[in-house]
Amino acid sequence: MTIHELLQQARQRLLKAPGLTPDDQHNADREAQILLAHALDCRRSYLLAYPELEPTDGKQRDFRVLVDKRCHGEPVAYLVGQREFYGLALEVDEAVLIPRPETELLVEQALSLLPENSRVADLGTGSGAIAVALAKLRRGSHIVATDACARALNLARKNAARHRLVNIEFHQGYWLDALPRSLEPLDMIVSNPPYVAAGDRHLSQGDCRFEPAMALTPGGDGICALQHIIAHAPAYLRPAGWLLLEHGYDQPDAVQALFAQGPWDNIQTIRDLAGQPRVSLACHAPGG
- Among 71-79, 186-194, 227-235, 236-244, which window interacts with ligand GLN (CB under 6 A)? 186-194
Please state the closest distance from residue 80 (CB atom) to ligand GLN, in A: 19
How buried is 69 (Cβ within 10 angstroms: 0-12 exposed, 13-18 middle, 19+ buried)? middle
174 phi/psi in degrees, rounded to 5? -85, 125
Whole-angstrom distance, CA of residue 63 vs CA of residue 218: 36
**Which H helix or E strand runs over 274?**
none
For ligand GLN, the closer CB: 9 or 276: 276
Q: For residues 1-20, which are near ligand GLN according to CB under 6 A?
A: none
Q: Which of 4, 13, 64, 100 binds ligand GLN (CB under 6 A)?
A: 100
For ligand GLN, the closer CB: 66 or 133: 133
For ligand GLN, the closer CB: 67 or 145: 145
- Among 16-24, 60-68, 170-178, 194-202, which window interacts with ligand GLN (CB under 6 A)? 194-202
Q: Are 211 and 98 in contact (CB under 8 A)?
A: yes
Residues paired with residue 147 on neighbouring β-strands, in sequence order: 172
Whole-angstrom distance, CA of residue 19 vs CA of residue 61: 21
How close are the terminal C-alpha atoms of the chain, in Å? 70
Check residue 146 for interaction with ligand GLN (CB under 6 A): no
Please state the closest distance from residue 192 (CB atom) to ligand GLN, in A: 5
For ligand GLN, the closer CB: 34 or 229: 229
- Among 9-17, 30-38, 171-179, 192-200, which window interacts with ligand GLN (CB under 6 A)? 192-200
Check residue 190 for interaction with ligand GLN (CB under 6 A): no
Contacts made by residues 61-69, CB under 8 angstroms, sequence distance 24+: 63/6, 63/10, 63/35, 63/36, 63/39, 66/35, 66/38, 66/39, 67/10, 67/13, 67/14, 67/32, 67/35
How many residues at the interface with ligand GLN, by CB under 6 A? 10
Residues that bind ligand GLN (CB under 6 A): 97, 100, 192-196, 208, 216, 246
